[in-house]
Structure 1
């Protein structure tokens, strides 16, 4: 959805093609009348192209990205993230002004970056802004290496879709479903970790580990092994 390069392959699937399928699926299940499809570059470009092609709405590069600026959502401080957005993305007023815009992004984490981007579009006099997100709402942290904040800082953990729409200042907001995400990959949901979307992690989370579940499981396993050994020794 976000981290992988679009020209790479994961589990035999082209990342670029899967992202285009995600965008096309959003166009089918979350359609809206608009004049222009835009991406939050760069990782959202394929999804925006997929949406544009499926909906028959023109695509344009409404944002010009500074490629010498890194990822903003993993910066440790909100002031740094805000400044990063300002120098990372420059809106094209000629593409935006007076247009009903469908804005495609790969995900929303805290929501602060997305809100800044929407304000940029408003300052360029966008007529309408319809936000479409190519992955499901992120309601929980990742415990396997993606640097997402604790869930109390995740906008989708705290707000429903309509509340998020109001906070972001957009005319409509819609997310990809988990089924839609899986369908785009051509694989079943059971093939992926979906913990950040549905709280169903494949292993114990750090909180569960600290709560003693592991220790209880080890004790239960040890007792089963002991009883099994006793049974085999004493016919």
Structure 2
């Protein structure tokens, strides 16, 4: 690849580290409109789709004709990531390699993060290869659970909740609890 591009703002820190470790150039090839909030928490896919288009603008001069490593913090449903990969390709990138700075999210969070139900989480029911095809990237890589724990200085997984990555909760949870109404389900049909 030629250049490392963060998905702003969530992917900036990881992209800087990825660029430093790989020796690749780093650039802000996507510019974020800060007046648009988080897209993954929107319950309707049509609203998420529109918000991604309004939220991010590709810088064609930095992307055209280049092999891009796109770095983000997570993939929840996969729809936002797919829009971003398509946007970077439409700006002229010859390849788009997606790197995610956390393990695949396979379980919902019952402790305060508004993540969807398990069946809405793309990694809960699909392989990395299936997700790669769905988002349209040339390659897809996640940070492993063990690497995340080492990076946090907790190799024994005792200080942080990692339930969304492991499905193992530190307390009993009611998986039928619905903090919000939703009708959305995983958009992926494999």
After TM superposition, the score normalised by the length of structure 1 is 0.73
Does 1 or 2 have the higher relative contact order (CA < 8 Å, sep 6+)? 2
**C-alpha separation between the residues in 1 aligned to 2:11 and 2:116?**
21
User: Which residue of 2 is the match for residue 164 of structure 1?
Assistant: 131
Between structure 1 and structure 2, the one with the greater Rg is 1
Equivalenced residues, count: 176
Could you list the structure 1 runs, at least 4 aligned residues long, displaced by more than 4 angstroms after superposition. Answer: none
Which residue is equivalent to 2:167?
A: 199
Question: How big is the shift at 1:131?
Answer: 0.5
Q: 1:62 maps to which residue?
A: 29
Distance of 2:154 and 2:97 partners within structure 1: 29
State yes or no: 1:94 paired with 2:65.
no
1:126 maps to what in 2? Answer: 93
Q: 2:180 matched to which residue of 1?
A: none
- Determine the structure 1 residue equivalent to 2:113: 146
Q: CA deviation at 1:109?
A: 0.1
Moved more, 99-108 or 186-195: 186-195
Name structure 1 gaps, 5 residues minimum: 1-33, 210-235
| CA RMSD between the two structures | 1.2
**Counterparts of 2:168 and 2:35, CA distance in 1:** 36
Shift of 1:181: 0.6
Measure, in 2, the Cα distance between the counterparts of 1:200 and 1:190: 12
Segment of structure 1 superposing worse, 73-82 or 83-92: 73-82
Of 183, 191, 196, the residue aligned with 2:150 is: 183
More helix by share: 1
Q: CA deviation at 1:208?
A: 8.4
- Kindly report which structure 2 residues correspond to 1:103-122, keeping only aligned pairs within 5 A, or say none: 103-122=70-89
Structure 2 unaligned blocks of 5 or more: 178-190
Q: Name the TM-score, length of structure 2 as normaliser.
A: 0.90
The answer to whether 1:50 aligns with 2:48 is no
Instruction: Classify the secondary structure of the residue corresponding to 1:207.
Output: coil
Partners of 1:69 and 1:194 in 2: CA distance: 28
How far has the Cα of 1:190 moved from its partner? 1.5
CA distance in 2, matches of 1:142, 1:149: 8
Q: Tell me the CA shift for residue 187 of structure 1.
A: 2.2
